[in-house]
Amino acid sequence: MATSSITRYHPLARTLHWALALLIAGNFALGIYMADLPFSPARLQYYSWHKWAGVLVLAFSAFRLLTRILKSPPALPSAIEAAMPGWQKLAHHATHIGLYALFFAVPLSGWAFSSAAGFPVVLFGVLPLPDFVPVSEGLADALKEAHKIAALSMAGLVLLHVAGALKHHFVDRDGLMSRMGFSR
């Protein structure tokens, strides 16, 4: 299929997609790195950065969802959709729904964990955000595990999403990846 016949996403949608991709990948890597560090000023700083990035993921996700509601994404090209087996269509939709759910679940569970552990989220070190759960060691333990499971689930779905995009690019060679790219 000719790339020129592919309807691309709006530039704002593409920008938000890649900004979220970078934030999520970077924050996931930071979360893995910092989790087992010994207590130190550096570890505390990494946790602050991790929280700040999580709040940005949450804000960008809300903005991205709003823009998606206001301006529907382009439909899959009919030739590509016709060539996709039913299981691929299901995987395509389920992966996107799962990612959107986790765009909110991961940062909110992290924020709740931080609140329950008694460590407030202070965005960029200057803007204190409200705690929305009470301080509770038992709740903090449960929320920490929920945050970890949600983050690992998001990582798995991101890998599935990337694998699907690469399959369309290198195997199917159908130009589908160009919908989210910046090149002309």
Whether residue 4 is predicted with pLDDT greater than 60 in this model: the reply is no
The residue range of the domain holding 115 is 3-180
pLDDT single digits (tens) 123-153: 999 999 999 999 999 999 999 999 999 999 9
pLDDT at 119 > cutoff 70? yes
Give the model's pLDDT for residue 155.
98
86-91 long-range Cβ contacts below 8 angstroms, 24+ apart: 88/164, 91/160, 91/164
DSSP secondary structure string for all residues of 69-85: HHSPPPPPPHHHHHHS-
Total number of domains in the chain: 1
Q: How far apart are CA 38 and CA 44, in angstroms?
A: 10
What pTM was computed for the model? 0.92
CATH of the domain at 150: 1.20.950.20
